[in-house]
Structure 1
Amino acid sequence: MKKIMLLLCLIVVETYSQVGGESIYNFLNLTGSARQASLGGNTLTLLDDVNQPLWNPSIINSELDNQISINYLNYLADVNLTSATFAHLINRNLGTIQGGITYLSYGKFIEADENGVETGIFKAYDLSVSVGYSYPISKTDFFIGANIKIINSVIGNFTSFGVGTDIGLLYYNEFKPYVFTLVARNIGYQVTVFDETREKLPLDISFGASYKLENVPITWHITFDNLQQWDIAVANPSNSKTDINGNVTDEQISFFDNTIRHFTLGAELFSEGAFNLRVGYDFRRAKELQLIDKRTFSGFTAGFGLKMNKFKFNYAFSKYHPASNANTFSLQINLN
């Protein structure tokens, strides 16, 4: 157990720091799970969602056996994400494996030469295929899991391939109302590059927890992400101030303002019932997409789940900006 904790700590300390916009394959940080999206988009402790191992392989368990999920995200600017996942129990000794595929289409673009003469149409897309496995640590309530991802990104005639892995450590006891997890996501290497520059994968080290209230049918979820890089806030030029002499003062980001951007909060009502209601809030998205002197509700998410025999339908609404929102749909089927 000490060796496992040491390994995860070394990953936190020694791996390069990076956030969105500074790496390749950033589509790996988009969720296709409507349930996860409705809880803020970063939840890591959904033990009964077959989509969750794409983000946290340590939650793979026998209860996911023969469950399949098909997901569709109507993202921004006609960008669409489609994903599918499946889990299968090999046997009681070997445990369960989970596989998934994620496809992000950017649509079609007009191709032109340096003189602006149109020469045709080209496509751009990202693709990831993964396989994951989790193992219970003997005589403890801890589980460790990992998955391997093969990644392909295409822009017209340019192609890039990469490999990645996620490593997760989970604490779960069925008699306890809380769950804790530590996950290092997107550790990997860009094997073939688009041009001459090799880029880094979007590493994200996160801590997640959930707590189920005893007398109220509510489960709280919280995620503290980007632990590998503390300073993730960037001053917004729109919030700069100019005095009477024309001197410009940039926005000053406080310690609290930077800290709160690491948090995502979600709540699920009737989590074990046939009908669920969910809300979430991504503090970083809210801060980065806010408008001056106007309430936009950016960062707010909501959704519901409806279970019908072997089928479960989930929907999520994600608020980004007054000009655009995102809708996520998931259909989960129990084949047993």
Structure 2
Amino acid sequence: MLGCAAFLSAQIGGDATFRFLELSNSPRQLALGDPITLRDMDISSTLANPAMVRGEHGGQVMVNYEPYFDGINRGTAAYAYTINRQKALVFDVNYINYGTFEGADSLGNPTGSFTGSEVALGLASSHYFLRQNIHLGVRLRYALSNLESYSSSAILGDIGLYYNPISMPLRIALVYQHLGSQLTAYEDIFEPLPSNLSLGFSSALKHLPLRWHLTFHHLNKFPLYFDNPEDVSQTLGGGTNQRSAGLAKKLLRHASFGVEVFPESLFSIRLGYNTQRAAELRILELRNFSGLSFGVGMQLRRLRFQISHARYNIAGNRTFLGLTLEPRR
């Protein structure tokens, strides 16, 4: 059970605890490949990068729900409190429930049922830095995990930077997520947290209602790519050579792509692709479109509805639902 959190993000490996924090915070994020360059009136844009918090988000309430794999349920929620026209505080909750399990001792005798869940509470804000088009944001989080009779807590922080060149549609963002330490450990064995350094770029097309996003994630763990011992080539002499990846291929494994059509309209279409998920979860004999994600967003007066779907493998895929209520203007 203690390894359950590691299962949630097996693409990176079981090298940290509180891995549920790396899951997409909203349907829009999931559909677009988890970009850090979203910046608009939607409060969900603040969850991946605290530098995106603005005064215009004030009064918004967001609730998202996802029936995760194998009976696991998770959800996120956020509320933005207005400080002034330029500033706001965003409160967010990230929750996951692993369900009920049947326990047994070392001999296989039943010991009763038990549950597991994790939750994180966050507070974020931002302020322009040096110039109005450069914003620095910070999010603080307290996370708590209860797995059977074991528990752990942690304090974490996200630091985000956002830059928008004047008179240009280009956006550049840099985020370092989940920096911190466990306060209490499961069995007095302290583990690292799932830190993630990401660099993102985004721009809009001049003559089409489309905005693209390119994100390089987990740059602090470069390279994620590993040489497959089965990936060999035949030599003229009948031997084999191990194929090794170049720098470009290793960097590509850190990349995710997203495209949003009609991003500022009442109805938008989203498409994303995660190269790491595609490479690590694909099955050569079957076509499941692993790594692909898509979704839509629709605004009805003060209510914004979002839904997304992400392809993983034949064992299961993900569907994420979200509602956002905007204040009366």
Structure 1 length-normalised TM: 0.88
Matched, 1:133 2:125: yes
The alignment status of 1:256 with 2:251, answered yes or no, reads: no
Post-superposition CA distance 1:129-186 (Å, at most 9, x none): 0001101124341010101000011111100000000000111367431211110100
Whether the 8 Å contact between 1:20 and 1:202 is mirrored in structure 2 is: no
Q: Quick one: which of 290, 310, 314 aligns to 1:322?
A: 314
Q: Separation in 2 of the partners of 1:107 and 1:276?
A: 34
Residue 74 of structure 1, aligned match among 54, 67, 72: 67
Deviation at residue 38 of structure 1 after TM alignment? 0.5
> Take 2:112 and 2:250, find their aligned partners in 1: how far apart are those partners?
45
In structure 1, distance between residues paired with 2:162 and 2:285: 42
Deviation at 1:19, TM superposition (A): 4.4
1:60 aligns with 2:53: yes
Taking a change above 3 Å as real, the CA distance of residues 242 and 156 of structure 1, as seen in their structure-2 partners, is farther
CA contact 1:84–1:100 (8 Å) conserved in 2: yes
Give 2:222's match in structure 1, choosing from 230, 246, 261. Answer: 230
User: Which residue of 2 is the match for residue 27 of structure 1?
Assistant: 20
Q: CA deviation at 1:250?
A: 6.4
- Give the Cα–Cα distance (whole angstroms) in 1 for the partners of residues 35 and 99 of structure 2: 26
CA positional deviation for 1:76: 1.8
**Distance (whole Å) between structure 2 residues aligned to residue 92 and residue 321 of structure 1:** 45
1:88 paired to 2:81: yes
Counterparts of 1:19 and 1:323, CA distance in 2: 18
The answer to whether the aligner puts 1:283 opposite 2:284 as a matched pair is: no
Which residue does 2:265 correspond to in 1?
A: 273
Q: 1:39 aligns with which of 26, 32, 36?
A: 32
The total of aligned residue pairs comes to 315
CA, structure 1 residues 213+29, in 2 after alignment: closer, same or farther (shift >3 Å)?
same
Structure 1: give runs of 5+ residues left out of the alignment. 1-17
The 3 A distance-change label for structure 1 pair 240 and 27 is: farther
CA displacement at 1:65 relative to structure 2: 1.1
Kept after mapping to 2: 8 A contact 1:45/1:181: no
Deviation at 1:205, TM superposition (A): 0.5
CA-CA distance at 1:311 after TM superposition? 0.5
Name the counterpart of 1:10: none
Residue matched to 2:6: none
- Residue 48 of structure 1 and its aligned partner are, at CA, apart by 2.7
- 293, 302, 307: which one pairs with 2:299? 307
Residues 35, 258 of structure 2: 8 Å contact kept: no
Decide whether aligned partners of structure 1 residues 183 and 320 sit closer, same or farther in structure 2, where only a CA change above 3 A counts: same
- 1:122, 1:46 → 2: CA distance? 42
Correspondence for 1:123 among 115, 118, 123: 115
Give the CA deviation at 1:78: 1.9
C-alpha distance 109-143 of structure 1, shift in aligned 2 (>3 A): same
TM-score normalised to the size of structure 2?
Answer: 0.89
- In structure 2, the partner of 1:219 is 211
Residues 1:72 and 1:32: Cα distance change in structure 2 (over 3 Å): farther
CA distance in 2, matches of 1:227, 1:212: 25
Distance 1:312 1:73, change over 3 A: same
The answer (yes or no) to whether the contact 1:239–1:292 under 8 Å persists in 2 is no
Match of 2:315, as an amino acid? A
8 Å CA contact 1:110–1:122 kept in 2: the answer is: yes
- Distance in 1, matches of 2:306 and 2:120, equals 23
Q: 1:84 to 1:182 in 2, by over 3 A?
A: same
1:237 is displaced (CA, Å) by 6.1
Closer, same or farther in 2 for the Cα pair 1:20/1:65, shift >3 Å?
Answer: farther
Give the aligned residue type for 2:139: N
Q: Distance in 1 between matches of 2:258 and 2:194?
A: 23
In structure 2, the CA distance between the partners of 1:100 and 1:320, relative to structure 1 (3 Å rule), is same
Give the % identical residues. 29
Residue identity opposite 1:272 in structure 2: E
| 1:110 and 2:102 matched | yes
* Deviation (angstroms), 1:49: 2.5
What SS does the corresponding residue of 1:159 show, helix, strand or coil?
strand
Could you tell me how far apart the structure 2 residues matched to 1:274 and 1:146 are?
30
Residues 158, 175 of structure 2: 8 Å contact kept: yes
Quote the Cα distance in structure 2 between the aligned partners of 1:319 and 1:236. Answer: 23
The 1:195/1:251 distance shift into structure 2, 3 A limit, reads: farther
User: 1:23, 1:248 → 2: CA distance?
Assistant: 36
Q: Structure 2: 5+ residue runs without aligned partners?
A: 1-10
SS in 1 for 2:220: coil
- The alpha-carbon deviation at position 296 of structure 1 amounts to 2.4
**Structure 1 residues 81 and 47: CA distance shift in structure 2, 3 A:** same
